[in-house]
Amino acid sequence: MQPQLLFMPQVGHPYQRPAEPPHTAGTAERELPEYDLLGARPVDAQRLFWYRWIAGHQISFVLWRAMGDILWRHPDDPPGDRELDALATCIDGYSAMLLYSATVPRAHYHAHTRARMALQHPSFSGAWAPDYRPVRRIFRGRFPWQGGRSCEALDEAIARNGVTHDHIANHLVPDGRSLLQQSAGAPGVSVSREKEDLYDNFFLTVRRPVGHTELVAQLDTRVAEVATDLAHNGLYPDVDGRHHPVVTWQSAGVMEPLLTGVLRVLDRATRLMAHLRLEEVRS
């Protein structure tokens, strides 16, 4: 498993012009493999969990961008049913990627993943993620149209996301303090361009003009890779004869659909993203 560079448009910039012809990348039905929760084959932990950490984040960046595209069109008036469905599905996809990235065993996370992030910057934080900036408001329920009956599924997805982030954070860092909180920096301090670049750079993300087709294709490739990984290694891989479950059936609660549904939700989010764009280009 080898992480790839992700090419993303600058936040707030439109997709690359000239306008693309209607495309169908990412719209096709695909066969989704079954996967076990507990993997049966021993894995190369360094390689696998590095891949999962990077790919899980990159997929989240694309899903945030897809959400941002919808939210940009609906600052005041509510999105339609299909757009609300796409928003909820992207949020569930992001939650699934929190879970997927966090399948790294805790000791490995501290020795390798977190150590590398702290070397990139001592206060390295998810709060620096450029593509999260335009969607932060929806996670806080700040759009005027949020809270109505048509937003029930969206509200559930947002709540599930909060529970999942808290759960994986407590699981990996039981003392609960992020690198940002441990360092001199404090949450809420505005994020500089330099920090956003450091964040992008860590997650192998390059900003350049990108067309929508190319963005969907990059998501599609990663979803196929995650499918291969899960089918081969299970959600919780065998690391030196042991498994390291993050969320178990017993502790799942509202996260239960994410356990077995990682591929279903990613696949659905990819197709909704592609279809909505297709409709937009054709209208």
Residue holding tokens 């559930």? 156
Which is nearer to ligand HEM, 91 or 180 (by Cβ)?
180
Which is nearer to ligand HEM, 88 or 172 (by Cβ)?
172
Q: By the 8 A CB rule, do 85 and 157 touch?
A: no
Cβ 273 to ligand HEM, closest distance in Å?
A: 19
Cβ 280 to ligand HEM, closest distance in Å?
A: 26
- Determine the Cα–Cα distance for residues 95 and 212; give it in Å rounded to an integer: 23
Which is nearer to ligand HEM, 91 or 210 (by Cβ)?
91
Backbone phi and psi for residue 39, each to the nearest 5 degrees, phi listed first: -70, 150
Which is nearer to ligand HEM, 165 or 207 (by Cβ)?
165
Give the footprint of ligand HEM on this chain (CB under 6 A).
Answer: 57, 60, 98, 101-102, 125-127, 129, 132, 136, 165, 168-169, 172-173, 178, 180-181, 187
- Determine the Cα–Cα distance for residues 281 and 26; give it in Å rounded to an integer: 15
Q: Which of 277, 269, 275 is nearest to 91 (CA)?
A: 269
- Determine the Cα–Cα distance for residues 93 and 81; give it in Å rounded to an integer: 18
Q: By the 8 A CB rule, do 111 and 250 touch?
A: no
- Determine the Cα–Cα distance for residues 273 and 63; give it in Å rounded to an integer: 8
Which is nearer to ligand HEM, 57 or 222 (by Cβ)?
57
Cβ 53 to ligand HEM, closest distance in Å?
A: 7
Q: By the 8 A CB rule, do 37 and 234 touch?
A: yes
Cβ 87 to ligand HEM, closest distance in Å?
A: 16
Nearest residue to ligand HEM by CB is 126
CB count, 10 Å around CB of 247? Answer: 23
Cβ 21 to ligand HEM, closest distance in Å?
A: 34
Cβ 213 to ligand HEM, closest distance in Å?
A: 26
Which is nearer to ligand HEM, 195 or 277 (by Cβ)?
195
